[in-house]
Amino acid sequence: MRGVVLHATRDIRVEDREDPTIKEPTDAIIRVTAACVCGSDLWPYRGTDEVKEPSPMGHEYVGVVEEIGPEVKELKVGDFVVGSFFASDNTCEICQAGYQSRCVHAQPVGAEGTQAQKARIPLADGTLVATPGQPDEDLIPSLLAASDVLGTGWFAAVAAEAGPGKTVAVVGDGAVGLLGILAAKQLGAERIIAMSRHADRQALAKEFGATDIVEERGDDGVAKIKELTDGLGAHSVIEAVGTQESMMQAIRATRPGGHVGYVGVSHDVELPGLELFFSGVHLHGGPAPVRRFLPELIQLIWDREIDPGKVFDLTLPLEQAAEAYQAMDERRAIKAMLTI
Amino acid sequence: MRGVVLHATRDIRVEDREDPTIKEPTDAIIRVTAACVCGSDLWPYRGTDEVKEPSPMGHEYVGVVEEIGPEVKELKVGDFVVGSFFASDNTCEICQAGYQSRCVHAQPVGAEGTQAQKARIPLADGTLVATPGQPDEDLIPSLLAASDVLGTGWFAAVAAEAGPGKTVAVVGDGAVGLLGILAAKQLGAERIIAMSRHADRQALAKEFGATDIVEERGDDGVAKIKELTDGLGAHSVIEAVGTQESMMQAIRATRPGGHVGYVGVSHDVELPGLELFFSGVHLHGGPAPVRRFLPELIQLIWDREIDPGKVFDLTLPLEQAAEAYQAMDERRAIKAMLTI
């Protein structure tokens, strides 16, 4: 099969790779319908995360079940499925508490790469959720978004306790931040402040439910959020970047007793204990337990109540993956979808 | 009046000081019945926090209202009152959300020191809670505990979401940690693990509701907590120390999706972003909004359902404050009460 491999900084190649095979009786093999490039794929692409050996890429996917292991009971060949970037049994105590990304048997799906024609999905019954039927073509981007960016933005909004009567600020205007806005809107937030300085992203933010745009960053951005909230700060802040600046911006923009939901993978972040202590905020985040939200998100998409697929402003065939990475790296694209 | 003043590291003196007077129309002057030495008083006492000038000490207190400003409406002269270490109006949006320690008009009561015969309490109507009547002598220690250590331990337990079905671990066996145990028990926790290596504190921990004792600290302590919780970690962890080691111990002892309630004032703490991210815990804490809990705590004490005053294992007259500090510094006393 063909699949995307990162060889070194900014060296993305589409190559012939071995077809995946069932290794464990709980595995499924899917034919990938669409995959995409994640903001977190850019960390190794840019060399921020070291690339020690050629690495198969991708952890977001939708596809059709092609083969199942003997212990797979819930899925059948031909099902159209959406899964998360962490395989999970969905039965352990941690999964049952809603933290499937930290399942006691969790395995990163991305280890073998889903930017490929096929993928092996471990713990298939726990990991994959079948759609109600074969989806219309135009639903594919939204279902693909559910696999990571929508689920992650949704988790951030839930972690930030976005809801009725709340003012929610969103740090980060990438796909996750934008879908955090969509989630906050769905969860009933009263006011949603998008922090963005890019016209195209501002437009999408408003389409997804943002009521205000703040272009300032850092301390100026915090001052602006305070100005918009009677000097108190937002009730809920979504952090969707993962840098020291963005984390501090999020914490400082939150009122005492408010909630920060952070989903940007932390890079070189050190949180100062004393400032955090006196901030009085709630802090919750981490790798989103997307699986928790998948049934609900798939239904909302199926019923055409949300259209998260709008974050894909570039669609390319798998063979042009290198261009997809480059466009996202250069911020020419918010998010790139790869059709397979 | 007589009052305690810290002149330099370990130099505590009881001196003649000016009687406090009404400065703002919302002030009250109270005759202090009892005060005490807080773990946080030991930071400047030990020189960890620099002492730049002679500082009046103390921020925990119970007493009798002696004089009120013209705008004080809820309290009257003669009321026996308990208050928190932060004065708060109890009416602003932040107070109403339960974060009185971060009231938009918050003032630290300790600025003028309550280890003294009298104290000025700002925003008296919002800050002070009157007991149902004049308390019996034997209730004084417990009411005094409500002023800070009980309210702080209670907040930590609430922030850690201690409750039915939960396993709660407590890092720190000072008065706050011990009262965190009492709070967790009252909140219905199923299992409470005290982390302590001192026999006297272990005994009190058990009296307050601890079901298990772990003597190990750091990584060994974390391993022990995991061993006691099927390898998962505790649902809820109370952090009541404030050091790098204790914070990391608390975070690492918590299961993914679990809750850390931290109330030890952070000293030289830097939380590593990436580890925190992948821990998947909820983190909440800060200066406890004791005022939120005072009505409930006073009632529980009044009805003799809880006896938090047991944390005072040393009672001395105000004039012997230096010995009270020394005994706590040397860990000869868990907590010292000063009668006035």
Shared domain check, B156 and B19: no
Shared domain check, A270 and A224: yes
List of chain B residues whose C-beta atoms are within 8 Å of the C-beta of residue A280: 99, 101-102, 286-287
Give the closest of B102, B256, B282 to A282, CB-based: B282
- The candidate with the shortest Cα–Cα distance to A301, out of A185, A163, A145, A164, is A145
Whole-number Å distance between alpha carbons of B136 and B90? 28
State the best of A40, A268, A271 to mutate against chain B, taking most chain B CBs within 10 Å.
A271
**The predicted structure's pLDDT at residue B313:** 95
**Poorest-pLDDT segment among B5-9, B50-54, B273-277:** B50-54
Would the CA dihedral through B250, B256, B261, B262 be positive or negative? positive
CA angle A128–A1–A152, rounded 5-degree value: 35
Whole-number Å distance between alpha carbons of B175 and B38? 9
Residues B283-303 have a mean pLDDT of: 98
Shared domain check, A208 and A256: yes
**The predicted structure's pLDDT at residue B50:** 87
**Each residue's pLDDT expressed in tens, for chain A with a length of 340 residues:** 999 999 999 999 999 999 999 999 999 999 999 999 998 899 999 998 888 999 999 999 999 999 999 999 999 999 999 999 999 999 999 999 999 999 999 999 988 999 999 999 999 999 999 999 999 999 999 999 999 999 999 999 999 999 999 999 999 999 999 999 999 999 999 999 999 999 999 999 999 999 999 999 999 999 999 999 999 999 999 999 999 999 999 999 999 999 999 999 888 999 999 999 999 999 999 999 999 999 999 999 999 999 999 999 999 999 999 999 999 999 999 999 999 9
Whole-number Å distance between alpha carbons of B172 and B73? 40
Q: Cβ of B98 and A284 within 8 Å?
A: no
Q: Chain B within 8 Å of A101 (Cβ-Cβ)?
A: yes
CA angle B94–B142–B241, rounded 5-degree value: 60
Nearest CA in chain B to A94: B256
| Residues B114, B60 contacting (CB under 8 angstroms) | yes
Would the CA dihedral through A28, A33, A38, A42 be positive or negative? positive
Shared domain check, B334 and B279: no
Instruction: Express each pLDDT in B34-67 by its tens digit.
Output: 999 998 899 999 998 888 999 999 999 999 999 9
Q: Cβ of B230 and A93 within 8 Å?
A: yes
Q: Which helix (H) or strand (E) holds A95?
A: helix A93-96
In which residue are the tokens 């409500």 written? B146
Residue A55 has which token pair? 């690495």
Q: Is B243 buried (19+), middle (13-18) or exposed (0-12) by CB count in 10 A?
A: middle
Q: Chain A within 8 Å of B226 (Cβ-Cβ)?
A: no
CATH for A257:
3.40.50.720
Shared domain check, A133 and A12: yes
Residue A90 has which token pair? 């969905």
- The candidate with the shortest Cα–Cα distance to B298, out of B150, B127, B155, B160, is B150
| Residues B184, B170 contacting (CB under 8 angstroms) | yes
Q: Is B298 buried (19+), middle (13-18) or exposed (0-12) by CB count in 10 A?
A: buried
- The candidate with the shortest Cα–Cα distance to A188, out of A223, A158, A225, A229, is A158
State the best of B269, B275, B290, B291 to mutate against chain A, taking most chain A CBs within 10 Å.
B269
Whole-number Å distance between alpha carbons of A2 and A253? 45
Q: Give residues 105 to 144 of B whose Cβ lies within 8 Å of A.
A: none
Q: Chain A within 8 Å of B165 (Cβ-Cβ)?
A: no
Q: Chain B within 8 Å of A102 (Cβ-Cβ)?
A: yes
Residue B96 has which token pair? 């109403």
Instruction: Express each pLDDT in B192-214 by its tens digit.
Output: 999 999 999 999 999 999 999 99
Whole-number mean pLDDT of chain B? 97
Residue B267 pLDDT > 90, yes or no? no
Q: Cβ of A257 and B99 within 8 Å?
A: yes
| Residues B328, B42 contacting (CB under 8 angstroms) | yes
DSSP class of A4: E
Range(s) of the domain holding residue A306? 2-148+289-339
**The predicted structure's pLDDT at residue A48:** 87
Q: Which three-class secondary structure state does DSSP give residue A182? A: helix
CATH for B295:
3.90.180.10
**The predicted structure's pLDDT at residue B5:** 97
State the best of A48, A249, A269, A290 to mutate against chain B, taking most chain B CBs within 10 Å.
A269
Q: How many domains does chain A have?
A: 2
User: Within a 10 A sphere around the Cβ of A124, how many other Cβ atoms?
Assistant: 28
Longest dimension (CA), chain A: 60
Q: Cβ of A271 and B270 within 8 Å?
A: yes
Q: Chain B within 8 Å of A165 (Cβ-Cβ)?
A: no
Q: Which three-class secondary structure state does DSSP give residue A261? A: strand
Shared domain check, A279 and A162: yes
Residues B121-142 have a mean pLDDT of: 98
**The predicted structure's pLDDT at residue A111:** 86
**The predicted structure's pLDDT at residue B325:** 98
List of chain A residues whose C-beta atoms are within 8 Å of the C-beta of residue B244: 273
Residue B284 has which token pair? 């909440």
**The predicted structure's pLDDT at residue A265:** 87
Q: Which three-class secondary structure state does DSSP give residue A36? A: strand
Q: Cβ of B277 and A265 within 8 Å?
A: yes
Shared domain check, A61 and A94: yes
CA–CA distances in Å: residue A293 to residues A155, A188, A191, B76, B234 = 8, 17, 23, 54, 24
Q: Which residues of B150-161 are buried (b: 16+ CB within 10 A; e: fewer)?
A: bbbbbbbbbbbb
Domain boundary among B256, B285, B314: B285
| Residues A205, A196 contacting (CB under 8 angstroms) | yes
Longest dimension (CA), chain B: 60
Torsion on CA atoms B253, B256, B261, B264, rounded to nearest 10 = 40
In which residue are the tokens 């004792």 written? B213
Shared domain check, B174 and B134: no
Would the CA dihedral through A185, A191, A192, A198 be positive or negative? positive
Shared domain check, A107 and A76: yes
List of chain A residues whose C-beta atoms are within 8 Å of the C-beta of residue B271: 270-271, 273, 276
Amino acid at A88: S
Strands B61-68 and B80-83: antiparallel
Residue B134 CA from chain centroid, whole number: 23
φ, ψ of residue A241 to 5 degrees: the values are -130, -65
**The predicted structure's pLDDT at residue A189:** 98
Q: Which three-class secondary structure state does DSSP give residue A125? A: helix
Shared domain check, B90 and B165: no
Shared domain check, B268 and B200: yes
State the best of B100, B230, B248, B283 to mutate against chain A, taking most chain A CBs within 10 Å.
B283
| Residues B16, B5 contacting (CB under 8 angstroms) | no
Shared domain check, B278 and B223: yes
HEC sequence for chain B? CEEEEEEECCEEEEEECCCCCCCCCCCEEEEEEEEECCHHHHHHHCCCCCCCCCEECCCCEEEEEEEECCCCCCCCCCCEEEECCEECCCCCHHHHCCCHHHCCCCEEHHHCCCCECEEEECCHHHHEEECCCCCCHHHHHHHHHHCCHHHHHHHHHHHCCCCECCEEEEECCCHHHHHHHHHHHHCCECEEEEECCCHHHHHHHHHHCCCEEECCCHHHHHHHHHHHCCCCCEEEEEECCCCHHHHHHHHHCEEEEEEEEECCCCCCCEEEHHHHHHHCCEEEECCCCHHHHHHHHHHHHHCCCCCHHHHEEEEEEHHHHHHHHHHHHCCCCCEEEEEC
Domain boundary among B267, B285, B303: B285
Whole-number Å distance between alpha carbons of A89 and A70? 16
Q: Which helix (H) or strand (E) holds A234?
A: strand A234-239
Instruction: Express each pLDDT in B146-165 by its tens digit.
Output: 999 999 999 999 999 999 99
The region that residue B188 occupies, defined by phi over 0 for left and psi between -120 and 50 for alpha, beta otherwise, is left
| Residues B69, B25 contacting (CB under 8 angstroms) | yes
**The predicted structure's pLDDT at residue B141:** 98
| Residues B258, B167 contacting (CB under 8 angstroms) | no
